[in-house]
Amino acid sequence: MIVFQKPHALTDVPFHYCPGCTHGIIHRLVAEAIDKLGVEGRTVGVASVGCSVMSYDYFNCDMVEAAHGRAPAVATGIKRALPENIVFTYQGDGDLAAIGTAETVHAAARGENITIIFVNNAIYGMTGGQMAPTSLPGQITQTSPYGRDVKTQGYPVKVCELLSGLDGPTYLERVSVDSPQAVKNAGRAILKAFTNQVEGKGFSLVEVLSTCPTNWGMTPVESLEWCRENMIPYYPLGVYRDKFAENGGGEK
């Protein structure tokens, strides 16, 4: 009896991610959701620019690579052309919350019936560890070598909180993948974000707090601890919007 195997929605191409990076876990959770819903054959994914740029090689469904930050606009075009298909984007924090802020906010405001997986690791990974829109106050990066000074470099962008100010989104939740329980919970949220789209419920975004051992300069285990001790207090986990919740739409 098979009790555990690679999801069908993932290809056999080996991930290029650094040891300890949580992109691999999140890719798997996305693929599991696609498998569970049986929608791989009608799913079109949109890859973004950043560490996950090559996700087009990892998902078995049709994949379109978008310009930096433009994934929600590209996904909008695909979804409007193929309303019966399932369209998702997979984006990092620089892509979604800096250069692509306008595309993110307006896709959410339109209530576009797409699913966005937003991976927040508080740093630009692919370019080698620069300050992200979500880098924490005081966080040392290549472009905030003395720590992010909020007086000159501003405050982090809290995406779920920002989007919850709009009427458009159907479902916004922030999760993490810093423990087995957290991974399980993240899988539930990602499945829900895809299920919403299958049921035509509208815009769903799951923000996943992630780690970057390489650019944070930590071991994988230390990274998970840093995420727990620093990121989760700044970015509280939970449901920020659920229009179709049984209790009538619990807003945080």
Which residue ranges make up the site for another protein (CB under 8 A)? 11, 40-44, 46-47, 53-54, 56-57, 59-67, 70, 73-82, 85, 102-103, 105-106
- For the four alpha carbons of 196, 197, 203 and 204, in that order, the dihedral sign comes to positive
Tokens representing 165 are 């100010």
Nearer to another protein, 59 or 90 (CB): 59
Question: Which residues are within 8 A (CB) of 92 and not within 5 positions of it... i.e. 6 or more apart?
Answer: 48, 50, 51, 52, 118, 119, 120, 121, 125
- For the four alpha carbons of 26, 29, 31 and 37, in that order, the dihedral sign comes to negative
Nearer to another protein, 53 or 237 (CB): 53
SS3 89: strand
Eight-state DSSP code of residue 97: I
For the bound state, the minimum distance from the C-beta of residue 24 to another protein, rounded and expressed in Å, comes to 19
For the bound state, the minimum distance from the C-beta of residue 127 to another protein, rounded and expressed in Å, comes to 14
Nearer to another protein, 70 or 241 (CB): 70
For the bound state, the minimum distance from the C-beta of residue 240 to another protein, rounded and expressed in Å, comes to 22
For the bound state, the minimum distance from the C-beta of residue 85 to another protein, rounded and expressed in Å, comes to 5
Q: How far is residue 161's CA from residue 240's CA, in Å, rounded to a whole number?
A: 7
Nearer to another protein, 63 or 190 (CB): 63
Nearer to another protein, 43 or 223 (CB): 43
For the bound state, the minimum distance from the C-beta of residue 176 to another protein, rounded and expressed in Å, comes to 29
Nearer to another protein, 75 or 231 (CB): 75
- Nearest in space to 204 (alpha carbons), one of 247, 172, 249, 182: 172
What pairs with residue 44 in β-bridges?
A: 62, 87
For the bound state, the minimum distance from the C-beta of residue 173 to another protein, rounded and expressed in Å, comes to 24
How far from 19 is each of 58, 69, 154, CA to CA, in Å?
A: 17, 26, 31
